[in-house]
Amino acid sequence: MTDLDGVRVLIVDDEPFMPRTIRAMLRAVGRFVVTEADDGDVALLMIGRVKPDVVLCDISMPRMGGLRFVELLRERSGMHDMPVIMLTGHAEEATVIAASKFRINGYLVKPVSPKQLSDQLRNVLAAREAIPTA
């Protein structure tokens, strides 16, 4: 058992291999409860039902991109402080700055290691006091 066991994660990514890859990384560091959405529209429909502790979200998706998803998420009652970690291939300064305007809690550039992902999850969740700090 780890301090991350039982954490509910919503993965929002349109590339089918990414959620599988992220699930494998999460399995390497704890026992997470994982739900997937293939774009921001679907994630917004699911979020009230799945009640994630944290969202891992890509930026570039076809119907609704990650930044628009976070913008709409922040407008929802009870969701303004939902932890969101952007997990993306975009390392450009302009994209990082744009993401920060939506109060993103973490930003990881693909590819990431299981350790990078678990460290970011611990930091974000500890800041929200969902788990104790190590």
pLDDT in tens, 87-107: 998 888 888 888 889 899 999
Write the DSSP symbol of residue 121.
H
Is residue 2 a part of any domain in this protein?
no
User: What's the token pair of residue 104?
Assistant: 């993103």
Question: Does residue 119 sit within a domain?
Answer: yes
73 band by pLDDT with thresholds 50, 70 and 90: very high
Q: Which residues span the domain enclosing 75? A: 8-127
Give residue 17's pLDDT. Answer: 93
Helix locations, the chain, DSSP H: 17-29, 40-50, 66-75, 93-100, 114-127
* Over residues 101-118, mean pLDDT: 93
Residue 132: the pLDDT is: 46
Q: Could you tell me if residue 67 is inside a domain?
A: yes
- Is residue 104, in this structure, part of any structural domain at all? yes
- Check residue 133 and report its DSSP letter: -
Question: Is residue 114 situated within a structural domain?
Answer: yes
Question: CA angle, 35 as apex, 56 and 32 as ends, to 5°?
Answer: 80
The reply to whether 1 falls in a domain is no
Q: Is residue 39 domain-resident?
A: yes
**Structural domains of the chain, count:** 1
Q: The CATH number of the domain where 70 resides is what?
A: 3.40.50.2300
